[in-house]
Amino acid sequence: MSYQKSSFRHPRLPVNDLGLTQQAYEGPLSTLCAGCGHDSIGAAIIQACHELSLPPHRIAKLSGIGCSSKAPTYFLNKAHGFNSVHGRMPSIVTGANMANKELTYIGMSGDGDTAAIGMGQFAHVVRRRLNMLYLVANNGVYGLTKGQTSATADRGSKSKKGEDNLLEGIDLATMAIQLGATFVARSFSGDKNELVPLLKAALSHRGFAFIDIISPCVTFNNHPGSTKSYDYVRDHIETASVSDFVPVKEEITSACPVGVTCRDICLHDGSIIRLQQTGDDYDPQNRAEAISAVEHHKAKGEILTGLLYVDPFAEDLHEVLETSDTPLNQLNEQALCPGNDVLQVINDSFR
């Protein structure tokens, strides 16, 4: 169900390179609970896609089942959309991406959708390095089905009724790094300043980009004792590196602040991720270091956010499989059925 949203916007709203205001990237009014982190993620996606000047109709948003998977309804109204079965978004996005490599693919999932029923699918889409942005809106509960503890809930955190979670939580970010993701970050729905540049960098990355976004559920998991509440996350965040994203068209004008070390990582299209190193000299291009840094901070009760790992020049699945440059729906009959002579050559090659 969706309600009417006023279409009035200030006439002097800024436009992007396509001449579009942010309104062209919005969706209908959200029916999620007021204050749900998932809507803040939606707002960050709208801002990131607008600032990158992505044509909205060249984006495909896909999801599974859950409040998080319902959230794409409320952004990118003009994009292609597919709300799939619980935990099955990776299969659908793989099929769509293999058939048409020209769209920008955004998969939105939840911690239940990915870390439980969809875990097998998640592992393989990461391993295949599909060229997409995979987001998990991680609230530590099954929000849609009224707040059962999920597989990402931290050991020792308490449910709303006060029960201890006795089991170890799954860390999807370290898992994604281990499984071969080539861009991995963690962020917080309540920190747009960090999230928007990460989304822009992830959308510009060629290969499998994963962002684990802690996204509090205000209805079932925002109490004292929860480690996915707004208060807890704000008090325990440690940033690996503050990142800024400079698209290929723009000149880098911002100088590094005095006393801060900056590291620029150039992506395949020439755009740049600028990292301001904080206390530790964190190297996001070192897989082993990334995993141990996440574990090290977790052991101290901290949540490490920011860009955790990136391999800017990795191959994506299309390159590995040497797929057709032309989307399948644009191949003509001659290309699809080249005739008996070509068939004969192929058959001979197997003899």
Ligand X SMILES: Cc1ncc(C[n+]2csc(CCOP(=O)(O)OP(=O)(O)O)c2C)c(N)n1
Binding site for ligand SF4 (CB under 6 A): 32-33, 36, 38, 67, 139, 143-144, 217-220
The total of other beta-carbon atoms located within 10 Å of residue 17's CB is 10
List residues binding Mg ion (CB under 5 A). 110-112, 139
Closer CB to ligand SF4, 73 or 97, in the complex: 73
Does 39 bind ligand X (CB under 6 A)? Our answer is: no
Q: Among 268, 293, 137, 116, which residue's Cα sits nearest to residue 210?
A: 137
Tokens 């822009």, located at residue? 200
Q: What is the nearest approach in angstroms of ligand X to the Cβ of residue 189? A: 11
Report the distance separating Cα 102 and Cα 58, nearest Å. 8
Q: Which x/- pattern, by CB under 6 A, does the window 85-124 give for ligand X?
A: -x-----------------------xxxx---x-------
Based on the shown chain and the rule CB under 6 A, indicate whether residue 134 belongs to the binding site for ligand X: no
Q: Does residue 243 belong to the site contacting ligand X (CB under 6 A)?
A: no
- The Cα 196–Cα 178 span in angstroms is 25
Report if residue 145 touches ligand X, rule: CB under 6 A. yes
Nearer to ligand X, 204 or 219 (CB): 219
**Interacting partner of 113 out of ligand X, ligand SF4, Mg ion, none (Cβ under 5 to 8 A depending on kind):** ligand X
| Cα Rg, the chain, nearest whole Å | 21
Closest approach of ligand SF4 to the CB of residue 78, in Å: 24
Asked whether the beta carbons of 247 and 200 are under 8 A apart, the reply is: yes
**Closest of 41, 171, 173, 44 to residue 108, by C-alpha:** 41
Residue 222 sits in the site that holds ligand X (CB under 6 A): no
Q: From its phi and psi, is residue 167 left (phi > 0), alpha (psi between -120 and 50) or beta?
A: beta
Residue nearest to ligand SF4 (CB): 143
In angstroms, give the least distance from the CB of 221 to ligand SF4. Answer: 7
Secondary structure letter of residue 26 according to DSSP: B
